[in-house]
Amino acid sequence: MNRKVLSLLFAFILIFSLSLALAGCPAKETMEPGDETMEGTEEGAMEMVKITVGTDAAYPPFELIDEETGEIVGFDIDLMNKIAETGGFEVEYKNVNWDGIFVGLDNEDYDAVISAVSITEERMEVYDFSDPYYAISQALIVPIEDVEAIAGVDDLAGKKVGAQIGTTGAIFVSELEGVELVNYDDNALAIEALLRGDVDAVVCDHPVAYDYALVNESYVGKLEVVNDNLNEGDLENYGIVVKKGNAAVLALINENLAKVLDEGIEDIEKKWKLK
């Protein structure tokens, strides 16, 4: 047998052996985004071992930075951790400014967002939401010395009102006739502006308003929530956000969120003074 024939025979044997080896390996299933967090099982089902979640940790009591540990904490974080514990998967958090949080989701920097995000028709056109997990209304905060002068929305005509940019609170103010909306990157900046006299009032989600007025030691005795139902009973629902079409992450969250809500979240509400 000449050298050329031997080479061809060797190549054929090598290719045949590799084919047999590959045929015996189970295919790894992948799914976007964050496919490195997915593992295929022998049955071919998708098992989620970890998801990455974006949050803006400047929205107490839902998400904030613990001054002692430097960790992200809050109602939303405890809820998400409980969902993960129930579902047997891990969560990694990324602290992201609100004005870029959805851009990061679009870019697949994380798999989901939990950050006191109200479910709106406009957002639902672009993103998928979990089932609702908390209902809120917009609230009006004023300096304690202005309670009589500004008792409600009717007293805001001709005044400046601060709100966090891109929030439903900012949208609410923008629709008030004769009221000037002043946008801020976060509510803390809006509250500081209120105390300086740069704006006459601030609008934000009612649990956040009460956290500033009744819990935050820097502001207790300086602020008053004069109306915690600006939506007049038309409550907003918070939801966890995923990229449009990310069915695997959405199903994982919804399945275990339902279990958590069935068991009750009164302990988390009590911890963060929401009840």
Condensed to tens digits (0 to 9), the pLDDT of residues 144-193 reads 999 999 999 999 999 999 999 999 999 999 999 999 999 999 999 999 99
What six digits make up the tokens of 19? 């084919």
* CATH code assigned at 178: 3.40.190.10
Closest-CA residue to 165 (of 174, 156, 157)? 174
Compute the Cα dihedral for 61, 63, 64, 65 and give only its sign: positive
Number of domains in the chain: 2
Choice among 136-140, 191-195, 241-245, 271-275 with the minimum mean pLDDT: 271-275
The residue whose two tokens read 């071919």 is: 44
Q: Is 124 within the bounds of a domain?
A: yes
| DSSP labels, 74-140 | SHHHHHHHHHHHHHT-EEEEEE--GGGHHHHHHTTSSSEE-SSPBP-HHHHTTEEE----EEE-EEE
Q: Is 21 within the bounds of a domain?
A: no
**Is 252 in the same domain as 125?**
yes
Q: Is 6 within the bounds of a domain?
A: no
Q: Give CA–CA dist 274/267, Å, rounded.
A: 10
**Is 196 in the same domain as 115?**
no
Angle between helices 247-263 and 75-87 (to 10 degrees): 100
Domain range holding 189?
A: 138-227
The residue whose two tokens read 């006299």 is: 197
pTM score over 0.75: yes
